[in-house]
Amino acid sequence: MAIQIIKKSASANGLESWGPVKTPISEPACELQGLRVAIPGLESTRTGIWECSPGTYRRDVKEGEVMHFLAGEATFTPDDGEPIQIAAGDTVFCSPLTGGVWEVKTTLRKVFVIVS
């Protein structure tokens, strides 16, 4: 299929539980849900919808990532920089090996593209 669409992705149901974040800082650990979307011919590129409950955790993604936030509010503090406020409607581009800490204030939902 060449075209795939998720209608009203900011509020779409049917996300799968992905369990807790890998490197939690807060207790209880943030819980993840999501929906992976495969793009034929680009199997090494991971895409989909991701959602995270409030809390604090360390970013574990080593690849480059594009994120468009559909809902929620958070602060991301890169290892080598100042805190960045992020909210619904924002688009973020992370270079490979961008480390830092997420503080999720209200449940975040994003569309993501992770490029190897």
pLDDT of residue 43: 86
- Contact indicator for 59, 50 with CB cutoff of 8 Å: no
49-87 burial string, b = 16+ CB within 10 Å, else e?
bbbbbbbbbebebebebebebbbbbbebbeeeeeeeebe
What gap in Å lies between CA 88 and CA 37, rounded to an integer?
21
pLDDT of residue 31: 98
Q: Tell me the pLDDT tens digit for each residue of 66-80.
A: 999 999 999 999 999
Strand (E) positions, 1-116?
A: 16-20, 31-36, 46-52, 55-58, 64-78, 84-87, 91-94, 100-115
Q: Is the pLDDT of residue 116 over 90?
A: no
Any bridge partners for residue 40, and if so which? none
Q: Tell me the pLDDT tens digit for each residue of 84-111.
A: 999 999 999 999 999 999 999 999 999 9
Q: Is the pLDDT of residue 55 over 80?
A: yes
pLDDT of residue 1: 58
Q: Tell me the pLDDT tens digit for each residue of 9-47.
A: 999 999 999 999 999 999 999 999 999 999 988 989 999
What gap in Å lies between CA 11 and CA 98, rounded to an integer?
28
